[in-house]
A and B are shown apart, each in its own frame.
Chain A
Amino acid sequence: MTGQNAILALGYQVITGSPDPFEHIIGPFYERRESGGGVSYAFQVRQEHTNMAGIAHGGMLMSFADMVVAQAAFAANGGDHIVTLSMNVSFLAPARIGDLVECRPGLIRQTAEILFIDGDFRAGEEVILTVKSLWKTIRMRPKTVKN
């Protein structure tokens, strides 16, 4: 896997114009709408994503994972506001410079207020990280006008 053209050749598009400043610092991220439903997300590990051991920093993997499961939660909630309640992350294997880390997150359960989103993150065929997350839906109350 080398360079952006190889990623685009897999059917991915660059996610542009994220309203989150932090994602401009650590990105770019990619997305691909799947014919069977759902969306896959990806990022390629670069040198600036690494730790002192020369592999992807756990914080970088979790930051990407947070973005991915948030996208799934947004979609499940019709684009309305949500906040993260919890992220349970297991690190199974390292990701190295040049690896394309991919995930197709899934909605496990949805109640009136809570979304359960899971994701398995792969580098090639290997699962490197799993996430179980909880999200809270936020209803924007209309502002009350005092008479």
Chain B
Amino acid sequence: MPPPSHTLLTGGPFSSLTGPYYAHCAEDGRYSLLIRIENMHLNRGRSVHGGMLLAISDNAHIGAVKSATGGVMLSTLSLQCDFIGLAGQGWLEATAWISRKTSALIFTSGEIRARGELIMTSSGIIKLLGAK
């Protein structure tokens, strides 16, 4: 089970299909997403599928921005992900944080770790819809 600090993420049908995810946003804005990797998330090499790592990163970046902006509608413009390590079954933690915020754009950074080991680093650009 995830630590009591994290609560179940309600993120729509795709997150239900690939989850469950557990989320927590620290007071400093650092957003943490936990997911337990099961057989269904793996590739032929018995590692987490690259697409799944990308989906986790996307959820973490969006989560960090949603936590900071409340109910504003968002649209991801760009996500750049580097595949640094492999992970098998077990808990993964994705963290994401805001690097810079303008009136219409938010620049995000993030990483995924398995048992402390770095698996992926990422950076994103997210547009606030309706912002000037």
Residue ranges of A at the interface with B (Cβ–Cβ < 8 Å):
19-26, 47-53, 56-60, 62-67, 70, 81, 83-91, 94
CB–CB A26/B17 < 8 A: yes
Chain B contacts of A51 at CB under 8 A?
11-15
Inter-chain CA distance A60–B79, complex, in Å, is 13
CB distance from B54 to the nearest CB of A (A): 4
B81 at the interface (CB under 8 A from A): yes
Chain A contacts of B13 at CB under 8 A?
47-51, 57
How many residues on chain B are close to A (CB under 8 Å)? 37
Q: A21-B41, A26-B17 are in contact. Are A57 and B58 (CB under 8 A)?
A: yes
Chain B contacts of A84 at CB under 8 A?
50, 83
Inter-chain CA distance A74–B86, complex, in Å, is 19
CB–CB A87/B58 < 8 A: no
Total A-B pairs in contact (CB under 8 Å)? 126
B59 at the interface (CB under 8 A from A): yes
Contacts A/B (CB < 8 Å), 28 sampled: A20-B42, A21-B40, A21-B41, A21-B49, A22-B42, A24-B40, A49-B13, A49-B17, A50-B14, A51-B11, A52-B12, A53-B73, A57-B12, A57-B15, A57-B55, A58-B79, A59-B15, A63-B51, A64-B51, A66-B50, A67-B51, A85-B83, A86-B81, A86-B82, A87-B79, A89-B78, A89-B79, A91-B78
CB distance from B6 to the nearest CB of A (A): 19
Q: A21-B41, A22-B49, A23-B49 are in contact. Are A60 and B82 (CB under 8 A)?
A: no
CB–CB B51/A88 < 8 A: no
CB–CB B39/A62 < 8 A: no
Inter-chain CA distance A51–B59, complex, in Å, is 10
Chain A contacts of B49 at CB under 8 A?
20-23, 63, 66
